A = this chain, B = another copy of it.
């Protein structure tokens, strides 16, 4: 009844298994939630899984199967007899079956498709055709469809007869020749005054739907906006072809946020969880950006190369380079991260770009002024007095502070503009996050610094 820690169980299960207490094992597993069983299974010896899995009651077995990771799924399928495989498939919803098929190697896919009932095989094949990130790829075809002539009583009878195989019965779709004309919830069916009321009298006709090719992240945003339990998917002729349920939308939302965060951190996104990723996986997802960014840092090096003589004359300027570059980088990434997230959540669109830039400029001027005043104080106190470096003159401090104001402004403008332009051009705006912005801002801050220093110090 409490929050459970399912991880203490793996030891118990192993011991029951060693002592061949199969009846007790079945009893223990039957009290558990499928997600928790799948989690414990991941901690067990792989060779015990087929036996453990066969101990589960049929329905629980299928629900657990869906929650397992694809490695364990493959291991089990390879061990299944044809009839065992058919039994599991019969209990699966089509969208879950498609998710599994997508992760399996070709020969396992062959076995799944030949074991599936003809109807399911057809549905799986249809759903596999939709592009990876589309609404079609995450929908299911198992929904409750009502006809326009039905009464509330008819509808309830229909649900009772066909509902067991549906992914959700709580939103039903009223269709006329496959065209979606309204939705009716089980709540309104149950609360209807009278069983003889026509379904069309109580249905919601203002139906919000998506197309099969709508991007799945857009679908997830609609769930979070409208709080729907399920959303119908229609084809170009507004004929209903499937539904998407809130749990799938939640998964999309979570993985979209993870993907954004990974890209913003300068990595190519990964499907695997951290503990499942090998060091080589981590390496592969990280090295492209590190190499690219290292090579782009060549520009900063070139700039320093060009100004090497001036640096030789006033080496003290070097002391402030890291601080200027970091502050510029941080200012820019604050703006880019904010804008990337707002774009992801649909809070801003490309036409807002001028409003955004104007807002960022004002915020940047405020930040730049406060920072440079603080910075001037710090330079005079720490670098001149505390570190006792007479080369740190007020003029040097002034050059640093002026550079800071300009850099912060430029960084914030670049930081807010690039993600919006990227989105407009069809790229993922998350690419324009901290690492990328930092590299650009580094080069700019150096140019500004040497420009201002040259003028003020007459180099």
Contacts and interface: CB of A to CB of B under 8 A. Distances in A.
A20 interface: no
B334 A322 contact: no
A254 B371 contact: no
Nearest to A302: B387
Interface string A223-257: 11111010000100010000000110111011001
A423 interface: no
B261 A264 contact: yes
A223 to B, nearest CB: 7
25 contacts: A1-B180, A35-B225, A156-B190, A163-B187, A170-B187, A223-B250, A246-B250, A257-B257, A262-B341, A274-B338, A275-B355, A279-B363, A280-B363, A282-B338, A283-B363, A286-B334, A287-B367, A289-B330, A291-B374, A294-B375, A301-B322, A318-B321, A321-B322, A322-B442, A322-B446
A378 B316 CA distance: 28
Contacts of A326: 293-294, 297, 300, 438-439, 442
Given A159-B190, A246-B250, A363-B282, A337 B305 contact: no
A329 B266 CA distance: 11
Given A170-B187, A250-B250, 19 more contacts: A1-B234, A3-B214, A31-B206, A32-B206, A160-B191, A163-B190, A254-B345, A266-B333, A267-B334, A275-B347, A286-B331, A294-B326, A298-B382, A300-B322, A301-B323, A304-B322, A305-B387, A308-B389, A311-B318
Contacts of A338: 262, 265, 267, 274, 282
A10 interface: no
Nearest to A415: B265
A81 interface: no
Interface in A202-238: 205-211, 214, 223-227, 229, 234, 238
A283 B318 contact: no
A290 interface: yes
A322 B445 CA distance: 11
Contacts of A300: 322-323, 326
Contacts of A356: 274
Q: Determine the main DSSP class of A at the interface with B.
A: helix
Contacts of A160: 190-191
Contacts of A267: 334, 337-338
A352 interface: yes
A287 B333 contact: no
A322 B299 CA distance: 10
Contacts of A286: 331, 334, 363, 367
Interface string A149-161: 0000000100110
A77 to B, nearest CB: 22
B327 A293 contact: yes
B315 A265 contact: no
A434 interface: yes
Interface in A312-356: 312, 315-316, 318-323, 325-327, 329-331, 333-334, 336-342, 345, 347-348, 352, 355-356
A418 to B, nearest CB: 14
A435 interface: yes
Contacts of A191: 160, 163-164
A209 B254 contact: no
A254 B293 contact: no
A58 interface: no
A358 to B, nearest CB: 9
A-B pairs, top 6 by smallest CB distance, nearest first, are A265-B337, A279-B362, A297-B323, A227-B247, A257-B257, A282-B363
Nearest to A159: B190
A456 interface: no
